[in-house]
Amino acid sequence: MKKNNNDEQIQMLKNKLKKTEKLLKIEKEKNKQWRVLISEITEEINDHIKADEDSND
């Protein structure tokens, strides 16, 4: 009986692990999208700063 209970717990933990891995993959993709967005915004800000500096010369 104890082995059966252990098997159930192991299976439950495996399922939790799969769900966690799936969520982690989603979060990693979100982070990647945020990094791309932040890079684009930073680049745009730098372009504006450069244009400002050039117009002051």
**pLDDT bracket for residue 4 (50, 70, 90):** confident
For the chain, what is the HEC assignment? Answer: CHHHHHHHHHHHHHHHHHHHHHHHHHHHHHHHHHHHHHHHHHHHHHHHHHHHHHHHC
CA dihedral 32, 36, 41, 47 (to 10 degrees): 150
What count of residues does the chain have?
A: 57
Q: What is the pTM of this model?
A: 0.67
List, for residues 26-40, the tens digit of each pLDDT value: 999 999 999 999 999
Share of the chain above pLDDT 70, in %: 98
Q: Is the dihedral of CA 20, 25, 28, 34 positive or negative?
A: negative
